[in-house]
Structure 1
Amino acid sequence: MILIVDDSPENIISLKKVLEKNDFEVDTASSGEEALKKILKKSYVLIILDVQMPGMDGFEVAEAVSGYSKAKETAIIFLSAATANVNLITRGYSSGGLDYISKPVDMNILLLKVKTFYRIYEQSRALNEMQKALREEIEFRKEAERKKDEFISIASHELKTPMTSIKGYIQLLEKSLDKNDKETIRARLHKVQNQIEKLNVLIADLLDISKIESGKLKFNKQYFSFDNLLEHLIEVMQQSNPQVKIVKKGSVDGNIFGDEMRIEQVIINFITNAIKYGPDGEEIHINSEIRDNELYFSVKDFGIGMSEEHQQKIFEKFYRIEETSERFQGLGIGLYICQEIIDRHKGKIGAHSVLGEGSEFYFQIPLYSEKEEKKQPQL
């Protein structure tokens, strides 16, 4: 938008008419004071400013405008009498003006100057946007590099922990073999097996991340019994964690459509996290039901919970809650993988939590394949 500032109505009318005829948006002010009020409220590409006005003259207006951060990219063209001397022209440039047009105004010259300033403005704005985008891209590279380095450090530590334990137990097993102590051997073999299982989970997560990044995470979707899958998982998880009572609520009759192995992966992650972050001896509640032709599943614990800020980021890749990272192991990729799995099932995943009171993680996915979904009556 262009602002014309002149105390002469005739000048304003003639300039406004020519500029609007050439598709420029125009605003006007009849005094310096009125112009400054408008500049505070609106953004202008160009100000055509009369030098000689009662009250605030054009130079004073220009000096005031130069102090406005809102108008730092606004160009100013002074309108002055043909008799303007060198001192006046010099003052105009020092006040922030970029050009002069003598009165009476040659409209052709005015239009050329206006078009030039508009072109410069557009180029400047495009350059600023490019610079901003480049700065953001550089910051994103830096952040990605930082996260990569952090992840490599965490992964190295997490993989090294079970490997160190396995090495230690094997050394102890060798001593037990010499003594032919079968009970001790059996107990230590069980501990080795647990550490190997942890290693398998870590490696599987790393492979899944690689497949997600390359778009090669495969799914084998078909109809299966969700209740049968859940009953089996609860039985196994309960046996492995006798200190926690797993309470099952609700049921899902019939079969649902999806990748059974991947849905199992999400459920195990939810239950494992609930046991990990809940205090020993507490219950965790598992709920499954049908809602509007969708499977709704949730796992609720009564543990440490998390803040609203963490709830918004918990499904991001490599995200770990700093306060718990020293107490609880993990790569910060389990929930990210879960989100990818549920997204690929056209579903929704989320969490509700209260700091100090516990968390509830949930997902919901369509019961049927997309082809069958279209045939289902809407509830």
Structure 2
Amino acid sequence: MILIVDDRPENILPLKKILELHRFSVDTAESGEEALKKVLQTTYSVIILDVQMPGMDGFEVANAIAGFSKTKDTSIIFLSAVNTEKKFITQGYTSGGVDYLTKPVDPDILALKVRTLHRLYEQQRELRATQDSLRKEIEVRKQAQEALAERMQELQTVLASLPQMAFIVAPDGRIEYVNEHWFRYASNAAAFPDTHSDDAFHIDWKQALGQGVEFTKEVRLKELATGDHRYHLLRVVPVRQQGGSGRWIGTFTDIDPQKRVAELLEQQVALRTSELLSKNAELERTNHELQQFTWVVSHDLKEPLRKIQLLNDTIKEKYLKDNPEAVSYLDRSIRSSARMSRLINDLLAYSQLSAPESFHPTDMNALLDELLLDFDDMLQQTKAVITVGPIPIIDTIPTRMRQVFQNLISNALKFAKQDQPPVITISAERVATKAIDAPASPTGDFCRIVVRDNGIGFDERFLSRIFVIFQRLHNRTSYEGTGIGLAIAKKNMDKHNGLISATSREGEGASFILVLPIVQPD
């Protein structure tokens, strides 16, 4: 802002108009006293001051203004129509003025002078603000340097107390500090200790230094006192500072005892692995022999058992028709023989589950349609209704999955209620994960198949028992069976990398749940 001081309003008005035309903000005062009051309240870049005024003249006003700290950057232009002599001009400059103009004044010249002095005023203020900012920054940096020095001292104190070899590296890679443990492996503090010829790390360390990233490596350092090489873990971490890279803090941690123990453990693991492979091979050979033995024994048992059944039937028909008591005893023998035959067949089937077989994409609906043909007679006798929903193509061992469904459907028909026909529903959906309660997902990688019936059901407290071989929840007199069927289903589902479980309540039927991959892993 520009201040015009003149005791005559007719002199102020044209000057004010001229400066306002040049886009200056202008304030006015009609006496020296008024001017001093305004200077105390407002900051002005330029003051145009009339010399000849009643009361305080321009020189007195300038001398008074010079004593104000807030006006040290303000420029004063004296303006006079009477006092044009050299002594007045000299007095004007000595009073603090930067220019002395006599009337009449060229308006353009006055505007140029005011513009120049106003720009100078702004530059002075900017310079002073810059200087203040620099002073503050210098002070902040000084405080930061002092704080950094304190932190470095604290850090060195901490590093000196560590049991590891500790050191500090400058941003240029020069070692600045080492603790006393350093000298067990190095003769001076300016270079890294000697390492084993196979553990050269300097190239990797220089690369990490250039990239400003953490560096970790196992090295073997040569102990000066013994000449032995001991394993150490070298870890160097960058400490970031404002404005770029900073120092590095590093440690060498003695891991020689752990390393020796690890090497010993690796040797023992290798030995145990070799022994385990040998035992596995022996176990596979024994398992194969056991399977062969089971098959031979089952086959050899079945032949005399068939003869026993045939002879029992013959004796019953030819010689015991008129002896009801003997027929009763013989029927018991025939039923026992039949149960033993089923047991032998189930045992043979269970023993063969470990044999390796390949997976094939299987149309499960076609497999079930074919399987249900085997149940035609039983379905007609029991008036059972079986509904099968769409099932996706799944990688399976078809014969094994046939066993699973055969056992589940057979159980559903066997454990039906006496007063109502069996109703069996087989449904399927894709799910996201391998879990019995996994959420449905149209694009899931697994398939959940549920075989639901309306039979007698069972108490879920015994769920863990029903998939164990020879475990039964009902006596043989009420329901026939060997207790192997669900164990075979469980083993087959394991072979398919799948799951099998069930939900049920007594008297409310049962639901058997299968979850298996759509595509088997390689």
* Interval containing the TM-score (normalised by the shorter chain): 0.3 to 0.5
Decide which structure has greater helix share.
1
Larger radius of gyration: 2
Which structure's relative contact order is higher, taking Cα pairs within 8 Å and 6+ residues apart? 1
Structure 1 length-normalised TM: 0.43
